[in-house]
């Protein structure tokens, strides 16, 4: 069972990183089209890709919330994440013409990086660093909670908060800004959901069928409500891609559970070593993906000349994944690099 748990998280991380690439590349299709087969295909692919960050958060919860570690270990994780954030922020800052000044203007650089990430992908590193800061306290909190308590935290963080966001959007009601629910937010909900699935949910065929149905139903709902609000502009229908909404959290949780079953397939277990090696490269792929994305965008445009634009985009995503994976895999052969990537 322990091996399967590690393997399913490895599988989940690999699928999630590919979906991150989908999320960063696919949207230019449906944003350029009116409702059609191509529009629906791209939009469906987009909503499927929205499970990526929740899956990463649930994997983190499954791996870290079940233990209590010393503060020294947490500080080491935070330092690693801060060092990575700093190095890649400076790298992307130097590439991005949208940022003011040069790297020699230290004050300007620091101010800019505090205000916004230097690259689209780096926003998650900001979030993850903050979660690592509170992780020692979350670990101790989980140890004090019963199963029912954890269920309540998940329900409030994802169901109640997600439903309130949706109702506020539908009825154009803005919740007063000082209404602060403190602990209850979608990152915490996903962390606890990952821990809960890993700790309490036993793989079951009927539950698997239910998870698949929930996943498909939520994606269909997202497509239909986006179609219904299309005439109001993309800002309106893209609201439904918010990571805290139920139409995103439910399929994300369902997918995380489905990965547990996928990991039990003989074909997957036979390749567990390869899957584990690729999984170790996921963070490096994430950090380098924006660089490769920009450099290979002309290839996508060339592919679109002789392939349908949707299939050209899928090929482009596979190219980005491969071109990130290979150098990261080789770089990780160096021990000190492996500590950070």
Q: Is the pLDDT of residue 96 over 80?
A: no
User: Quick one: pLDDT at residue 174?
Assistant: 79
User: Quick one: pLDDT at residue 178?
Assistant: 64
Q: Is the pLDDT of residue 97 over 90?
A: no
Q: Is the pLDDT of residue 195 over 50?
A: yes
Q: Is the pLDDT of residue 1 over 70?
A: no
User: Quick one: pLDDT at residue 67?
Assistant: 93
What DSSP designation does 116 have? S
What DSSP designation does 174 have? P
| Both structure tokens of 29 | 């299709």
Q: Is the pLDDT of residue 106 over 90?
A: no
Q: Is the pLDDT of residue 74 over 70?
A: yes
How far is it, in rounded angstroms, from Cα 23 to Cα 120?
A: 11
Give the rounded percent of residues in the chain with a pLDDT score beyond 70: 95
The pLDDT tens digits of the residues spanning 55-72 come to 999 999 999 999 999 999
Closest-CA residue to 62 (of 187, 186, 197, 185): 197
What is the residue-wise DSSP string for 175-236?
Answer: PPTT---TT-SHHHHHHHHHHHHHHHPPP-HHHHHHHHHHHHHHHHHHHHHHHHTGGG-HHH
How far is it, in rounded angstroms, from Cα 182 to Cα 222?
A: 28
| Both structure tokens of 341 | 């990537």
Lowest mean pLDDT among 147-156, 163-172, 175-184, 320-329: 175-184
**Mean pLDDT value across residues 152-169:** 94
How far is it, in rounded angstroms, from Cα 331 to Cα 288?
A: 12
Q: Is the pLDDT of residue 2 over 50?
A: no
**Mean pLDDT value across residues 22-32:** 95
The pLDDT tens digits of the residues spanning 280-331 come to 999 999 999 999 999 999 999 999 999 999 999 999 999 999 999 999 999 9
How far is it, in rounded angstroms, from Cα 192 to Cα 136?
A: 14
Report helix, strand or coil for 145.
Answer: coil
Q: Is the pLDDT of residue 21 over 90?
A: yes
**Mean pLDDT value across residues 261-265:** 91
User: Quick one: pLDDT at residue 286?
Assistant: 98
Q: Give Cα separations from 141 to 44, 82, 128, 145 (angstroms).
A: 37, 25, 19, 6
Query: For all residues of the chain together, what is the average pLDDT?
Result: 93
**Mean pLDDT value across residues 124-131:** 97
User: Quick one: pLDDT at residue 99?
Assistant: 66
How far is it, in rounded angstroms, from Cα 132 to Cα 74?
A: 7
């Amino acid at each position: 069972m322990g091996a399967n748990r590690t393997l399913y998280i490895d599988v989940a991380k690999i699928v999630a990183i590919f979906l991150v690439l989908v999320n960063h590349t696919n949207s230019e299709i449906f944003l350029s089209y009116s409702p059609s087969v191509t529009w629906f295909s791209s939009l469906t692919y987009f909503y499927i890709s929205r499970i990526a960050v929740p899956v990463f958060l649930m994997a983190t919860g499954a791996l870290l919330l079940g233990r209590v570690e010393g503060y020294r270990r947490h500080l080491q994780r935070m330092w690693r994440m801060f060092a990575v954030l700093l190095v890649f922020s400076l790298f992307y800052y130097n590439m991005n013409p949208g940022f003011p000044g040069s790297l020699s203007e230290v004050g300007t650089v620091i101010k800019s990086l505090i205000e916004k990430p230097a690259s689209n992908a780096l926003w998650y590193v900001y979030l993850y660093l903050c979660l690592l800061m509170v992780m020692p306290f979350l670990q101790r909190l989980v140890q004090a909670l019963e199963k029912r308590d954890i269920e309540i935290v998940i329900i409030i963080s994802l169901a109640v908060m997600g439903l309130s966001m949706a109702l506020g959007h539908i009825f154009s009601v803005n919740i007063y800004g000082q209404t602060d629910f403190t602990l209850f937010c979608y990152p915490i909900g996903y962390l606890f959901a990952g821990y809960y699935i890993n700790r309490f949910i036993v793989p079951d065929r009927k539950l698997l069928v239910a998870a698949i149905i929930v996943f498909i139903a939520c994606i269909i709902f997202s497509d239909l409500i986006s179609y219904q609000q299309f005439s109001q502009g993309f800002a309106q229908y893209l609201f439904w891609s918010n990571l805290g909404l139920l139409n995103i959290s439910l399929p994300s949780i369902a997918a995380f559970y489905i990965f547990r079953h996928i990991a039990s397939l003989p074909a997957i277990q036979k390749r567990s070593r390869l899957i584990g090696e690729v999984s170790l490269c996921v963070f490096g792929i994430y950090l380098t993906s924006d660089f490769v994305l920009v450099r290979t965008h002309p290839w996508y445009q060339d592919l679109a000349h002789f392939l349908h634009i949707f299939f050209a985009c899928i090929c482009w995503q596979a190219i980005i994944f491969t071109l990130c994976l290979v150098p990261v895999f080789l770089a990780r052969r160096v021990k000190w690099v492996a500590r950070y990537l």
